[in-house]
Structure 1
Amino acid sequence: MSTFSGLNAATTALWANRRGLDVTGQNIANVNTEGYSRQRVDLQAIGGSAVPAFFSTGSGIGQGVNADDVMRIRDVFLEGRGHTEHANLTQLVAETDSYELIEQAFREPGNTGIQKMLSEVWSGWQDVANNPDDSAARGQVLKRMETLAGGLHFSQQQLGGQWAQTRENLAVLVDDVNAAAENIATLNVAIQRATQSGLPANDLADQRDVLAMQLADQVGASVRHGKDGVLDVSVGGMSLVSGGSATKFEVAGTIDPDQTAGDPLRVVTAVGDFNVRVGGTAGGQLNALNAIVPSYRGQLDTIASSLATAMNTAHGEGYDLTGATGGALFGTADGSPITAANITVMITDPDRIAASGVAGAGNLDRANADRIAQLAHTAGIDEGYRKMIVELGVQSAVSQRNFDIQSSITTTVDAARESVAGVNLDEELTNMLSYQQAYAAAGRMVTAIDEALDVLINRTGLVGR
């Protein structure tokens, strides 16, 4: 190596190690930046010419070091695993939250739940059986039935409100998905142009990966890396982002929680109306909208209808204080089928309570009131309600357990991703000292070459003849 070529090698060393210090400083500055991937300078030796030429010689040692490329440390496999596990976790979060809200709507166990109201109704009828001539006993059983009807109304309204809120949240989420997809498409174009021009695009790629993880959380998106740094995104096999273009999604389906069987909620493409098989939060919300909440609304309607049928039938077999056959205890204001949302107590006059099992005006027989009180054990209304609540508790517990397991899995995967892409300050300090010493050594080499050239040029030669 000639003296001047050595000076060139030392210059490239200064440049490479200064670039290494710059990259290390960037890593340290972004140690707490969400989505930032640590970077490393790709040092490559510049070799000497391998092609011989006339009147030229070379030592074969090389021409220094090249530090033009800065690598972004990222494990593609772990990123894909992270997308999958995050999608599973957020879906379970949405489903678990739905079960918790349903439990709140029923308020069981407690003094304000429907089970307590049912018990008070049966107790009220037993009081009528014990004191058929007491107008207060007759009046209180009417009030307790009204309270029970109000409890059914409240629980059904709570479930309906939960359904409507979840549907609105799904629509907002889909809008966010469309915005994120547009941003990824824009970043794809910028990254592709930078890559083709030989410019760094690591920070843009970090921004894009944050958006990709957001889409995985929201709709269970998966990614595929393409040419020139382009990232394609798909959801359930349906393309969401392809290069610089993005597909828009929208929510379709009924706005009535009782019509989900005929027109279920779904996510579709804005153009073509193709169904999209979503996961993540959207998948959990769709499961709540189409299965979980409607199921309990239907069961509550069945309980209300069974209650009305059993009590109306039993009441019709007795006689009130006027001697008339007992009329319907429960019905609806407009004559429509009885549901938990519209069940109404139809009798307002305590004298119309058909407590007697024997016809005749003023008869104080209590046989029919006692028969109605025994419906607590024979009609299966309480048993059906308790079965529904037990089923709810089991499903909620299973969902919570699955959520806990998935949380542990996701945490493990995130830790593995962070160990690869995250910034370790101890490692960066080691790198900083390494680049610092190498920079000082290259500077010392420049000084040594400068001194050698000074001796060669200014202090050698023949003394006068």
Structure 2
Amino acid sequence: MSTFSGLNTTSKALAAAQRAMEVTGQNIANANTTGYTRQRVELTSAAITETGRNARRDVPGSGVDVVGIDRVTDAFVDATRRQDVALSAEAGTASTIWTTVEGSLGEPGSGSLTSRLTDMYNSWGDLSNAQGSDAVTAARATVIARSQAVADTLSTVDGQLQGQWFGLKDQIGALAVEVNETAARIAELNTSIVSAKVQGSSANELMDKRDQFVSRLAELTGAHVVQRDLGTVDVYIGNATLVSGAIAETFSVTGAGVTFQQVKGGTGEQVGVQIGKTTVAPASGKLKALLEGVNSTLPGVARRLDEVATTIADQVNANYAGGTTPFFSATPADPSSRGPASSLKVLVTGTSDAEFQDSSAGSVDRASAKAIARLPETDGSPSKVWRGSVTAIATASQAAENRAAMAADVALKSDAARESVSGVSIDEEMTNLVAFQHAYAAAARVFTAIDEALDILINRTGA
């Protein structure tokens, strides 16, 4: 091996140190860039090129070769982070839905259904004790007003639940649009990554962008990925393929024409999603929580509200006028668009003896008023049914909030784990920069030493 080979070895060392400093500078420049993955120069010692009978054993290697620039990642850590972020998004969305439902009830409060029911039964008690025509007339008017207030409160809460249901349904549609856009970008980046790899250039930044879209898709749908050749990924939701290489399938919402009453009625009609023609069920993510809110949570609360409305009508009617004349009506004129909660109304509008029948026939014993005033004390009364419903909703809301807080903590830990592997540490990069700078300076000194030796050999030997 000649002295000129030493120059070649040294030039490789200079090039390797220079490339390492460039990569370190790239890391430092992107220390605060969201989604950036730390890069590292992969170096390997170059093999000796001398072979055959005349090969010498007392020579060094051929220097260093730059193999490539790798992204510092851990597939397991990345997959765990995507899963934890999806679970956190699901739990957070579910908690928001339950909190909104609980807020729409207004419990406890002066305008809540519990308060309205108490006022209504108290008014029946006042009527049962009223003496004199003026007092009776005033008590009957109060009964009608407070009973109608109960009906109005039920209708208001039911209307709020319907409004929330349509809001969640709209969110699902908006998420479907975002999922399609994100899937298309992943497919495009897969194509760009393959092109870069084939041409021999670095695709690291393209892969960083692609992984950000994958993470967003996981947050929305709980999607998982499978690594393929040349750095591409396939994306799955459930068992259906959303992205395969350069191809992105269509993600759509089913049941666009389904109504709130149909879902609440349990007719089998529900809102769902599909990829192509395949129905899928997201394993986690924001979309799963929204689908559960639309198909289960809100319809379930609305059914409880309908149950209370029906119970109020049935129990009051059974005790009013001996059960011969209804006081309430909870039958919707159009069951396809309204339920008992939004249809409850007071049928009695007048306070005369002919219109308001609160006593046994031929007497003024106020028997009906007394019986209705005692309803809250009976098993299965509307007040007890509703209190049980409110307690169950509050418990579910608190549980959802606890799950959301726990899932958020886990997601933060997963983010920290990912940062510890793939994130940029300024201190570490500064240390590397100094080391590579010294390596470059040392290689340059070797270059100078060889140059001086050659100068002596060529220009001064024999002088």
Q: TM-score range by the shorter chain?
A: over 0.9
Q: CA deviation at 1:195?
A: 1.3
Between 59-68 and 207-216, report the one with greater CA deviation: 59-68
Task: Name the structure 1 match of 2:157.
Answer: 155
Q: CA deviation at 1:59?
A: 5.2
Query: Per the alignment, in what secondary structure is the counterpart of residue 424 of structure 2?
Result: coil
Which of 273, 276, 281 is the matching residue for 1:277? 281
- Partner deviation per Cα, 1:57-102 (whole Å, 9 max, x = no partner): 6854122212251110000011111122122111111211111111
Q: CA deviation at 1:258?
A: 2.0
Q: CA deviation at 1:165?
A: 0.5
- Partner deviation per Cα, 1:221-256 (whole Å, 9 max, x = no partner): 000101111111111011111111011111112431
Query: Per the alignment, in what secondary structure is the counterpart of residue 42 of structure 1?
Result: strand
Amino acid at match of 2:412: T
Alignment of 1:92-107 (within 5 A): 92-107=91-106
- Partner deviation per Cα, 1:413-442 (whole Å, 9 max, x = no partner): 221111000001110010000011111111
Preserved contact between residue 74 and residue 421 of structure 1 (Cα < 8 Å):
yes
Query: Per the alignment, in what secondary structure is the counterpart of residue 65 of structure 2?
Result: strand
Task: Name the structure 2 match of 1:355.
Answer: 358
Q: CA deviation at 1:199?
A: 1.0
- Partner deviation per Cα, 1:149-185 (whole Å, 9 max, x = no partner): 1110111011111111001101111111111111111
Task: Name the structure 1 match of 2:309.
Answer: 304
Q: CA deviation at 1:364?
A: 3.8
1:264 aligns with 2:270: yes
Q: CA deviation at 1:50?
A: 4.9
Q: CA deviation at 1:335?
A: 8.5
Q: CA deviation at 1:329?
A: 3.1
Query: Per the alignment, in what secondary structure is the counterpart of residue 26 of structure 2?
Result: helix
Task: Name the structure 2 match of 1:369.
Answer: 369
Preserved contact between residue 321 and residue 358 of structure 2 (Cα < 8 Å):
no
Alignment of 1:240-255 (within 5 A): 240-253=242-255, 254-255=257-258
Between 8-17 and 331-340, report the one with greater CA deviation: 331-340
Task: Name the structure 1 match of 2:18.
Answer: 18
Amino acid at match of 1:350: T
1:288 aligns with 2:293: yes
Alignment of 1:7-406 (within 5 A): 7-52=7-52, 60-131=59-130, 133=133, 134=135, 135-253=137-255, 254-260=257-263, 261=266, 262-269=268-275, 271-272=276-277, 274-278=278-282, 279-317=284-322, 326-331=325-330, 334=333, 339-351=340-352, 352-357=355-360, 359-360=361-362, 364-378=364-378, 380-406=381-407
1: CA distance, partners of 2:339 / 2:159: 15
Task: Name the structure 2 match of 1:322.
Answer: none
Preserved contact between residue 105 and residue 158 of structure 1 (Cα < 8 Å):
yes
1: CA distance, partners of 2:48 / 2:326: 107
Task: Name the structure 2 match of 1:321.
Answer: none
Between 342-351 and 147-156, report the one with greater CA deviation: 342-351
Between 291-300 and 343-352, report the one with greater CA deviation: 343-352
Q: CA deviation at 1:404?
A: 2.2
Between 297-306 and 334-343, report the one with greater CA deviation: 334-343
2: CA distance, partners of 1:327 / 1:184: 63
Using a 3 Å threshold, how does the CA distance of structure 1 residues 333 and 288 change in structure 2: closer, same or farther?
closer
Preserved contact between residue 13 and residue 63 of structure 2 (Cα < 8 Å):
yes
2: CA distance, partners of 1:330 / 1:117: 18
Amino acid at match of 1:19: R
1: CA distance, partners of 2:59 / 2:344: 96
Q: CA deviation at 1:316?
A: 2.7
2: CA distance, partners of 1:172 / 1:327: 46
Using a 3 Å threshold, how does the CA distance of structure 1 residues 338 and 25 change in structure 2: closer, same or farther?
closer
Q: CA RMSD in A?
A: 1.9
Question: What is the TM-score normalised by the length of structure 2?
Answer: 0.93
Using a 3 Å threshold, how does the CA distance of structure 1 residues 333 and 52 change in structure 2: closer, same or farther?
closer
Query: Per the alignment, in what secondary structure is the counterpart of residue 450 of structure 1?
Result: helix
Between 431-440 and 247-256, report the one with greater CA deviation: 247-256
Q: CA deviation at 1:124?
A: 1.0
Amino acid at match of 1:222: H
2: CA distance, partners of 1:331 / 1:39: 68
Preserved contact between residue 333 and residue 344 of structure 1 (Cα < 8 Å):
no
Between 181-190 and 408-417, report the one with greater CA deviation: 408-417
Between 365-374 and 428-437, report the one with greater CA deviation: 365-374
Preserved contact between residue 124 and residue 141 of structure 1 (Cα < 8 Å):
yes
2: CA distance, partners of 1:70 / 1:53: 37
Amino acid at match of 1:354: Q
2: CA distance, partners of 1:201 / 1:397: 46
Amino acid at match of 1:117: R
Preserved contact between residue 304 and residue 339 of structure 1 (Cα < 8 Å):
yes
Question: What is the TM-score normalised by the length of structure 1?
Answer: 0.92
Amino acid at match of 1:309: D
Preserved contact between residue 48 and residue 58 of structure 1 (Cα < 8 Å):
no
1:415 aligns with 2:416: yes
Query: Per the alignment, in what secondary structure is the counterpart of residue 31 of structure 1?
Result: coil
Preserved contact between residue 148 and residue 346 of structure 2 (Cα < 8 Å):
yes
Amino acid at match of 1:310: Q
